[in-house]
Amino acid sequence: MDLKILLDVARKSIFTYFDKSLVLNKDYYLSNYDELSENRASFVALKLNGRLRGSFGSFNASKQLFEDVFDNARKAAFNDPSFEPIEIKDFTNIKIEVSVLTPSKKIDYIDKYDLKEKIIPKKHGVILEYQDKKATFLPQVWDELQTFEQFITSLCLKAGVSSSCFENNAKVFIYEVIKEKEE
């Protein structure tokens, strides 16, 4: 998979938001890069001066990778509720990271200790579902939250649930990512 083309799609999707006279030629991308036609889930993260500036992604592979990256890049730039929309003056300094998710796999576990044995730090991304709440951390988050306890506790906070949810049959899924980022 040519991940550099995903960075190109992400950057141009944001740029065409600013300059509506430009249009991304979807047919060109789909005819030249077969992987962009596959239904895949992706996450797009934006950084400005080394700090997160927006992030948005999909849990499920429900549309073509081209559309998923295009939409998630725009949402990361303009619809992440944690940040103000980016401005054109910041656009040239934004660094983009695109992660393509493998299909997620449900993990059966007995308790949090059993779960710890089944999740591999820095390899697995984790999706937590409990009642009507859902959150995920990409494998890259292990760089910041290096212990299982930090990772899982923070994921529970992100989902808005107590870490005791694991005693009440919270659903846990793992996945891996293929990623590319601008330096």
Same domain for 145 and 69: no
- Could you tell me the pTM of the whole model? 0.87
Q: Is 50 exposed, middle or buried (0-12, 13-18, 19+ CB in 10 A)?
A: exposed
- The answer to whether residue 47 scores a pLDDT higher than 90 is yes
- 19 Cβ contact list (under 8 Å, min separation 6): none
The whole-number average pLDDT for the span 19-23 is: 90
Same domain for 72 and 11: yes
- The answer to whether residue 79 scores a pLDDT higher than 90 is yes
Same domain for 92 and 60: yes
The whole-number average pLDDT for the span 103-107 is: 94
CATH of the domain at 80: 3.30.700.20
Tokens 């300094």 correspond to 93
- The answer to whether residue 100 scores a pLDDT higher than 80 is yes
Q: Cα angle at 13 between 42 and 95, to 5 degrees? A: 70
**Domains of the chain: total:** 2
pLDDT at 2: 75
Same domain for 80 and 10: yes
Same domain for 110 and 97: no
Q: Which two tokens stand for residue 158?
A: 């992100």
13 alpha-carbon distance from chain centroid: 16
Tens-place pLDDT, residues 114-147: 999 999 999 999 999 999 999 999 999 999 998 9
pLDDT at 98: 96
Same domain for 12 and 90: yes
- The answer to whether residue 182 scores a pLDDT higher than 90 is no
> Per-residue confidence at 167, pLDDT binned at 50, 70, 90?
confident
- Domain carrying residue 20: 3-101
pLDDT at 127: 95
- The answer to whether residue 86 scores a pLDDT higher than 80 is yes
Contact, 125 vs 158, CB < 8 A?
A: no
pLDDT at 147: 94
- The answer to whether residue 16 scores a pLDDT higher than 80 is yes
CA–CA separation, 177 and 108 (whole Å): 21
pLDDT at 168: 87
